[in-house]
Amino acid sequence: MKLLKIIFIFILFLTFSNGNSFNGHKIYLKKLRNNCGLSAYAFTSKYTQKEWKDFFRKGTFEEKILEICPKLKKDKLEEINLQDIFDFAYKYAKDSHNVPF
């Protein structure tokens, strides 16, 4: 029973320690959409899942956001949880067949 509790807590920790596409969508709508001038769908469908993942792993994800959203100030982007934005972009990427609500 104790082992089961430990496993449950570990899974819960993993769930909340990573980014969240739902939070990323909310962040996009509140903080990025006006500066990007794009709908959530237009933003995420700029690239495929592989491309989004490569940008994030290589550390160029922030640069890509600034390219897509030229009005966005870099200091405003630093206030945002990029992991959540990445999860949002990845989940609704061009080749994902998902559409943000």
Better-scored residue on pLDDT, 16 or 5: 5
In a domain, 52, yes or no: yes
Copy the structure tokens of residue 10.
Answer: 């570990």
In a domain, 101, yes or no: no
In a domain, 3, yes or no: no
In a domain, 29, yes or no: yes
Better-scored residue on pLDDT, 48 or 11: 48
In a domain, 48, yes or no: yes
d(C-alpha 86, C-alpha 64), whole Å = 11
Rounded to 10 deg, the angle between the 49-58 and 82-91 helix axes is 160
d(C-alpha 29, C-alpha 97), whole Å = 20
d(C-alpha 49, C-alpha 31), whole Å = 22
Q: Quick one: pLDDT band at residue 15, thresholds 50, 70, 90?
A: very low
In a domain, 12, yes or no: no
**End-to-end alpha carbon distance in the chain:** 40
> For residue 40, what are the domain limits?
20-91
d(C-alpha 50, C-alpha 73), whole Å = 26
In a domain, 9, yes or no: no
Q: Quick one: pLDDT band at residue 3, thresholds 50, 70, 90?
A: low
pLDDT in tens, 29-78: 999 999 999 999 999 999 999 999 999 999 999 999 999 999 998 888 88
In a domain, 60, yes or no: yes
* Highest-confidence segment of 11-20, 49-58, 79-88: 49-58
Domain count for the chain, please give it.
1
Q: What angle do CA 37, 41, 43 make, to 5 degrees?
A: 50
pTM: 0.78
